[in-house]
């Protein structure tokens, strides 16, 4: 019974550790950062500084209209970067206009007191990375870019792969706004819809049963030794 319990605990330990890391990281990010996503606008201000997303497509009365084009990222009305191949929804003037490609997030670091505005961009999968053996792209090499404006007016840029999103975890917290699928901080094992098998039977119930088996085996062994003595 003890070894059966040990086996159940062993096979359950790894996903439980990953889940614990996700919960801890989420709590840390929530404690340290205050994120304010701009769902209603393509312009954000920070003190006397301003960030805007601008394209040349006129408004459309059709909410289903889609075009691919270029979006200019302006910082204090100066072109800082250009995003190419963006799917634009001309009907919308809010965050829906560049849904899945560009998004503006304002956030404050409570540790430093610094306020920032981040323009998050989905750059797509790195074309230089080899395809998977079965075909298609490895989405661990999906690239994101963060253009961050600080309260002092300085702009810094950070480009990273999806597989590196958790170092530091603020990357993942920001990249989620342009990710094509739900995304965890380090892994995605908590992003799927829960079923009876996962995670209730495995790894939660399997770990609990394993621990109970080990405790029961230890108690029974201790009692048998007392009787023999």
| Domain span holding position 214 | 193-219
d(CA 32, CA 35): 10
Q: Are residues 73 and 165 in the same domain?
A: yes
Which candidate, 9, 10, 46, 3, places its Cα nearest to that of 217?
3
Q: Does some domain include residue 224?
A: no
Q: Does some domain include residue 226?
A: no
β-strand 78-88 against 102-109: which pairing, if any? unpaired
Q: Does some domain include residue 229?
A: no
The total number of structural domains that make up the chain: 2
Q: Are residues 127 and 198 in the same domain?
A: no
Q: Are residues 112 and 206 in the same domain?
A: no
Q: Does some domain include residue 26?
A: yes
pLDDT tens, position by position, for the chain (229 residues)? 888 888 889 999 999 999 999 999 999 999 999 999 999 999 999 999 999 999 999 999 999 999 999 999 999 999 999 999 999 999 999 999 999 999 999 999 999 999 999 999 999 987 777 666 666 678 889 999 999 999 999 999 999 999 999 999 999 999 999 999 999 999 999 988 888 889 999 999 999 999 999 999 888 877 766 565 5
Q: Are residues 84 and 197 in the same domain?
A: no
Length reported for the chain: 229
Q: Are residues 166 and 198 in the same domain?
A: no
């Amino acid at each position: 019974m003890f070894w059966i319990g040990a086996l159940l605990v062993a096979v359950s330990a790894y996903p439980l550790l990953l889940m614990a890391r996700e919960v801890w990281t989420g709590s840390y990010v929530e404690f340290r950062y205050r994120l304010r996503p701009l769902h209603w606008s393509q312009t954000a201000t920070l003190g006397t500084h301003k960030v805007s997303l601008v394209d040349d497509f006129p408004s459309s009365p059709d909410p289903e209209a889609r075009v691919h084009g270029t979006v200019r990222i302006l910082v204090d009305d100066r072109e800082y970067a250009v995003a190419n191949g963006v799917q634009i929804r001309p009907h919308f003037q809010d965050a829906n206009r560049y849904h899945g490609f560009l998004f503006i997030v304002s956030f404050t670091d409570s540790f430093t007191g610094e306020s920032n505005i981040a323009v998050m961009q989905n750059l797509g999968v790195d074309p230089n990375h080899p395809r998977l053996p079965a075909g298609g792209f490895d989405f661990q090499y999906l690239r994101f870019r963060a253009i961050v404006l600080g309260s002092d007016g300085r702009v810094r840029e950070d480009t990273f792969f999806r597989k590196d999103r958790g170092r530091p975890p603020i990357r993942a917290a920001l990249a989620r706004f342009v990710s094509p699928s739900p995304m965890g901080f380090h892994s995605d094992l908590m992003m799927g819809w829960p079923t009876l098998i996962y995670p209730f039977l495995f790894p939660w119930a399997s770990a609990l049963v394993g621990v109970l088996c080990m405790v029961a085996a230890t108690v029974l062994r201790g009692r048998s030794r007392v009787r023999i003595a």
